[in-house]
Chains A and B, each alone.
Chain A
Amino acid sequence: MSGCPYFAKRDIRHQQKDEEERDDSQDGTNKASKGGIIYGDYLQLDKVVTAQVLQSELKGNKIHDEHLFIVTHQAYELWFKQILWELDSVREIFISGHVRDERNMLKVNTRIHRIVMIFRLLVDQFNVLETMTALDFFDFREYLTPASGFQSLQFRLLENKIGVPDNLRVPYNRRHYRDNFRGQDSELLFESEQEPSLIQLVEQWLARTPGLEENGFNFWGKLEVNITKALKMEKEKLERKPESEDKDEHMAEFHKQRDVLTSLFDEKRHDHLVSKGERRLSYKALKGALMIYFYREEPRFQVPFQLLTSLMDIDTLMTKWRYNHV
């Protein structure tokens, strides 16, 4: 501390303190002379930091923990907005066709990964609200009715724009989820169901994966031939082995594997599963995805592979989010 150059001047600063009191009158001058915006105005903190009104207080029975409840939900909604910002920008890149310029892949991937990072934070955020006990929540819960997370517009928009299908939603109260909203909100929600979702856009992109062209590399055709041949050889190898319990087990396993792989090439079966909602991507898109997996180390497929991984991360994290919520 003795070497600190400002230390010596400490007394001077304290002498100046009296002058500071006169500074209040210079309120306007300082800001104008600097020009430009200051922190609090830039972030519109006058709006953000005054938006916490406790219902329990309004009703004359202020409960301390309600503040945490409010701030937590507001933080969630701020981040939902950010996710929508990133999501819409990515969808736009696909919709506008700019995704065909593969230089845009870095941007797409970065933004989807950013969504993943935000979801990670949102999953961790439950730990903070969990410092509130059930007893403390009980003390103010009555003042909240009928407000409910079902009315979170941004959450629904998020689900729809990623690609949660309406007909797979679990209904509740025998009402459509959109019934919780009116007017502009309801329209926005409807739009988000109609416009291309992330999964639809990714599906179209996957279907265009280079190497699928039948009159080109014909990945799928070659794969089917290879698998059929390899399975045949496996079978012959196994059959040549002497009879034993092991052999029977191996044969059973082999048949299972063969059935799984054979079903892969059964397009009718795929379409059936899609109609049931058990598969979501088109057959062609699935081929593209498998191609990217197998050839992920090829320079052209490296970033696309990262994108597919990040898309799965989003699903994983949303599931964790839902589970934590429960």
Chain B
Amino acid sequence: MSGCPFLAKKHQLFTSKHLTDEDDDAQKGINRASKGGIVYGDYLELNKVLDAQVLQSELKGNKIHDEHLFIITHQAYELWFKQILWELDSVRELFINDGMRDERNMLKVVSRIHRITMIFRLLVDQFAVLETMTAMDFYDFREYLTPASGFQSLQFRLLENKIGVVDSLRVPYNRRHYRDNFQGLDSKAILKSEQEPTLLKLVEQWLERTPGLETDGFDFWGKFEANVDQALKCEKQKIEKMPESETKQEMLEDLSKQTELFTSLFDSKRHEHLLSKGDRRLSFKALQGALMINFYREEPRFQVPFQLLTSLMEIDTLMTKWRYNHVCMVHRMIGSKAGTGGSSGYHYLRSTVSDRYKVFVDLFNLATYLVPRSWIPKLNPNIHKFLYTAECYDSSYSSSSSCSSCSSEDSE
């Protein structure tokens, strides 16, 4: 502290205190004008943001302290929902523009999807703050909230839809469509978000174009099926040569199960059937693309796409954790009582923690079909040039909107 150059001037600092205070008030306008530019509070429109906390309990003449925390927590959630939508829409836009044919945009896409996962991580942790409120304290002001309910959160629904939650798979409640909670412009916005290309749809189309799938090219799927067929045959022969024993029987049974599994993988009719039931969400071709990216993730061209698939699953995982945290907290706060939105509260929420709401469930299920490395079709970089970067001007790209327009990234 003794070395501090300002300390010596400490007296000056403080004696001038009174002068500056009086003069400064008069100089209010001048200072800002002479500086030009915007100050912190105005930049962030804090006059709006920090003036939006009105306690219903206080309005009704019975101010409950903890209601402020309830309000702030939800407002923070909505701010972050807006940010997620900002990132999500920009990514969808990049896909919609050129189907991600300019692969230089992949870094941006992956960064923004990853950012969304970082935000979701924060939102999952945020429950711990609201959980410092006890059920008893919540009870004291809950009556003043009806009929407000999270069911009326426009941004949350937009988020679900734009990622790709399927309407027909939603859990109904009160025998009403979830969109019935909204009117006018809000309702229109939600309808739009159901109809416009979702992240799931856009990723599906992108996956279908994974280099290496072309049947007249590398023909990954054809080669893969042949390899798996042969490998399973070999396995069977090997086991059958063994002397009879219980182990041998077990091994034969396991092999039989495995064979069945892979037969179903290559069965496109079965896939279509599961698609119609809602058990699968991606097209058969897209699934092939995803499996290819997984197997060849270390090839330069697939490294970032692989990161994208990982981040997409991360979004699903975190949304599930969010839903689960929400369920646990609600259970603690209201037990088995009905929600302010009229639903069964805890029971409804619990039913949403399921694969119905998992958008990229197919990516998770790919792990079912992992195989030993030796079964994967071999690649030869000298022959299979597509493993490195795409050539901008080859026939698989629309030549008009190629590299030069790619650099103008502010098309969002």
Residue of B nearest to A115 (CB): B132
Question: Dominant SS at the B interface?
Answer: helix
Q: Could you tell me if B180 and A121 are in contact, using CB atoms closer than 8 angstroms?
A: no
Residue of A nearest to B114 (CB): A131
Q: Could you tell me if B82 and A49 are in contact, using CB atoms closer than 8 angstroms?
A: yes
Which residue among A9, A47, A50 has the maximum number of chain B CB atoms within 10 Å of its CB? Answer: A47
Tell which of B16-24, B95-103, B288-296, B373-381 binds the partner. B16-24
A256 to chain B, nearest CB (A): 25
Q: Could you tell me if B183 and A49 are in contact, using CB atoms closer than 8 angstroms?
A: no
Q: Tell me, in angstroms, the Cα distance from A178 to B404 when the chains sit together.
A: 51
Question: Is B397 interfacial (CB 8 A cutoff)?
Answer: no
In which size bucket is the chain A interface? Answer: 35 or more
Within 8 Å CB of A35, what residues of B?
Answer: 147
Question: Is A183 interfacial (CB 8 A cutoff)?
Answer: yes
Q: Could you tell me if B31 and A44 are in contact, using CB atoms closer than 8 angstroms?
A: no
Question: Is B72 interfacial (CB 8 A cutoff)?
Answer: yes
Question: Dominant SS at the A interface?
Answer: helix
Question: Is A262 interfacial (CB 8 A cutoff)?
Answer: no
Residue of A nearest to B145 (CB): A42
Q: Could you tell me if A117 and B129 are in contact, using CB atoms closer than 8 angstroms?
A: yes
Question: Is B234 interfacial (CB 8 A cutoff)?
Answer: no
Within 8 Å CB of B45, what residues of A?
Answer: 51-53, 74
User: Which of B21, B44, B128 sits near A77, CB closer than 8 Å?
Assistant: B44
Question: Is A6 interfacial (CB 8 A cutoff)?
Answer: yes
Q: Tell me, in angstroms, the Cα distance from A227 to B36 when the chains sit together.
A: 65
Q: A53-B45, A125-B122, A174-B6 are in contact. Are A40 and B154 (CB under 8 A)?
A: yes
B112 to chain A, nearest CB (A): 8
Tell which of B52-60, B302-310, B386-394 binds the partner. B52-60
Within 8 Å CB of B13, what residues of A?
Answer: 171, 174, 176
Residue of A nearest to B29 (CB): A182
Q: Tell me, in angstroms, the Cα distance from A57 to B53 when the chains sit together.
A: 28
Q: Could you tell me if B40 and A47 are in contact, using CB atoms closer than 8 angstroms?
A: no
B154 to chain A, nearest CB (A): 7
Q: A39-B152, A40-B154 are in contact. Are A82 and B79 (CB under 8 A)?
A: no
Which residues from chain B sit less than 8 Å from chain A, CB to CB? 1, 6, 9-10, 13, 17, 20-21, 24-25, 28, 31, 35-46, 48-54, 56, 65, 68-69, 71-72, 74-76, 78-80, 82-83, 86-87, 90, 111, 114-115, 118-119, 121-122, 125-126, 128-129, 132, 145-155, 168, 172, 175, 177, 179-180, 183-184, 186-187, 277-278, 410, 412
Q: List 30 A-B contacts (CB under 8 A).
A: A13-B177, A24-B183, A37-B147, A39-B153, A42-B56, A43-B75, A48-B79, A49-B79, A49-B82, A49-B155, A50-B48, A62-B412, A67-B83, A67-B86, A68-B87, A74-B44, A78-B79, A85-B68, A113-B132, A114-B129, A121-B122, A131-B118, A146-B35, A148-B40, A153-B41, A174-B13, A179-B20, A179-B24, A186-B21, A190-B21
In order of increasing CB-CB distance, the 5 nearest A-B pairs are A39-B152, A151-B40, A44-B52, A51-B45, A131-B115
